[in-house]
Structure 1
Amino acid sequence: MMVDFVPDPGLYPFTSRWFESSAGTVHYIDEGDGPPILLCHGSPTWSFLYRHIVTGLRDRYRCIAVDYPGFGLSERPDGFGYTIAELTSVLGEFIDHLELDEFVLMGHDWGGPIGLSAATARAERVRGIVLGNTAFWPIEPLANRMFSVLMSSRPVQRRILERNLLVEQFLVGKYGPALTAAEAEHYRQVQPTPDARRGLSVMPKEIRAARPLLEELAVNVPRLLGDKPTLAVWGMQDIVFRPKTCLPKIRGAFTDLEIVELTDAKHFIQEDAPDRIATAIAARFP
């Protein structure tokens, strides 16, 4: 199924484009000219999350932001599992379809492991990396693992599907960033029905289920991408990807690393500090 929603051009002033992947129709935007930067979202977001960064950078970069199957304006294909491995495979097809070379990859939340998994298979084509509040190693903290257990339980899975819990509670609710009513609706309206939310329901399970993929990434990222110029833009108030836990791991993985601490930002850094992120990217990858 496809989502019947047209973004407000005042909030999302981009041309929608479409790619026919092996899993179904994928929506993306491709704005500006210059060195390519591929922007990978997490859950429960979509390319709308990057709108301010795209408008801030498209005068000097080719900004590409993709919606994975099950997210944003992309198709919700029947028989698709929405696992991190499957989403990675589709992203790899997308990179190859666009013939991206010398591209910068930005990954946030699940967009980190999805993007990095695709990038490690194409390391020779990667110019640099931007990481924001994400992880590419097995998620060990007890609080995160218990969150996975709780969110994977039958009652909570029902609330994710029937009440859009992940969007309502963690993105547009009190735990999320400051959004206008119209911005909040752009996150709600792309997940309008239980069938449209199947991808969202899988993501909490993947904290534990994707452990083999994350174990592989923990080895392959330093080995294959560790010498790439890297920028970490980190929301220092994030209680999910806590800086004291995550930043030392990132320092250990990359030899050419710059870190920009977003002092007041929480998890959704693209909403909390888009101008600072755009400025940091432009300075790191001139």
Structure 2
Amino acid sequence: MTVARATQLPADVRLEYPFASNEFDLKSGATMHYLDEGTGPVVLMLHGNPTWSFYYRNLVKTMQAAGYRCIVPDHIGCGLSDKPQDYKYTLQQRIEDVEELLDHLAIEQFSLVVHDWGGAIGCGVAGRRPDALEKLVLLNTGAFRSKRIPFRIAAIKVPFVGEFVIRALNGFAGPAATMAAKTPLTPTAKRGLLWPYRNWRDRVAVWNFVKDIPLSASHRSYQSLVDVETGLAKLAGKPIQLVWGKRDFCFSMRFHERFKEFFPQAESCVYSKHGHYILEDGGDGVWQNIAHFLQA
């Protein structure tokens, strides 16, 4: 059970991540772990690869103190959720999983904070229910077609070789803990981010996220991404904030500028010294910036 796994987190990680565990059984049969902290207007936070709800720990504390209810799921295969080896690890399935959780919790209105893969998943959810979305915060992410993929990621997208590097050698989550943050992570933060991905089985979603990057029309998730991109037009009138680490090697400033084409009225906050893990690099200044935007 995932609740039992939560109690097994290292003691220092538990101190940084002191939240109650919640579980929800999806129609697929997998159990999703999620945080449900605070009361008030709902903020849904969606992580990417290779992070989990731990990545949002400080933003949850900030928003909870500001009078918000924070819903933060671990995608299937990630964090404290189940890690089935035969799951349909596709963008479409991810979107449906989050929609199931929202329906289960009877959440009709929410603001959205998304990072990395959470952008495509979250914007996919919002595009399917735009009337439910109140505000949108985009953190170094993408939600549209692009062939701009760093060589170091393209190199491990190759079948068999890529899976071995990622799952056997920890060649994705491990390096990310160093490369994605321009300010070195504290030992506790690094341990927390990596804890759920300690062996071959645990890294099943880490590999499948890389595998699911759609670069051509023949890819299984290409049409799903087209649908997400098309749905962005339904969100253009919403209050939107772009919070970007300029030194991100993956979701570079080109992604930021592309979002500005979709959302020309968006508030833009660019941090010149920060990288992909903007919530880690930026600290309290970034957390409060997001909180002020959501409260405005």
Task: State the TM-score, normalizing by the size of structure 2.
Answer: 0.88
Q: Pick from 232, 256, 269: which aligns with 1:247?
A: 256
| Structure 1 portions without partners, runs of 5+ | none
Correspondence 1:283 to 2:289: no
1:175 is displaced (CA, Å) by: 5.0
Distance 2:128 2:179 in 1: 39
Q: Pick from 105, 112, 126: which aligns with 2:119?
A: 112
CA contact (8 A) 2:112 2:122 kept: yes
1:9 is displaced (CA, Å) by: 2.6
CA contact (8 A) 1:145 1:207 kept: no
Distance 1:233 1:175 in 2: 15
Distance 1:41 1:168 in 2: 17
Q: Pick from 240, 245, 248: which aligns with 1:238?
A: 248
Q: Pick from 227, 230, 253: which aligns with 1:216?
A: 227
1:145 is displaced (CA, Å) by: 7.0
CA contact (8 A) 1:149 1:205 kept: no
- The residue aligned with 1:68 is 75
1:149 is displaced (CA, Å) by: 4.8
1:51 is displaced (CA, Å) by: 0.7
Distance 1:9 1:170 in 2: 21
Correspondence 1:83-162 to 2 at 5 A: 83-141=90-148, 143-144=149-150, 147-162=153-168
- The residue aligned with 1:46 is 52
Distance 2:188 2:113 in 1: 26
CA contact (8 A) 1:92 1:118 kept: yes
Secondary structure of 1:106's counterpart equals strand
Percent identity between the aligned chains? Answer: 29
CA contact (8 A) 1:38 1:106 kept: yes
Correspondence 1:195-214 to 2 at 5 A: 195-208=201-214, 209=219, 210-214=221-225
- The residue aligned with 2:276 is 267
CA contact (8 A) 1:72 1:190 kept: yes
Secondary structure of 1:107's counterpart equals strand
Correspondence 1:28-39 to 2 at 5 A: 28-39=34-45
How many residue pairs were aligned? 282
- The residue aligned with 2:26 is 21
Secondary structure of 1:58's counterpart equals helix
Distance 1:149 1:95 in 2: 36
List structure 1 runs of 4+ shifted beyond 6 angstroms.
none
Deviations 1:100-148 (A, max 9, x none): 222101110000001111111111111011101111111222x437733
C-alpha RMSD of the superposition: 2.0
CA contact (8 A) 1:36 1:61 kept: yes
Secondary structure of 1:213's counterpart equals helix
| Structure 2 portions without partners, runs of 5+ | none
Deviates more, 1:85-94 or 1:245-254: 245-254
Task: State the TM-score, normalizing by the size of structure 1.
Answer: 0.91
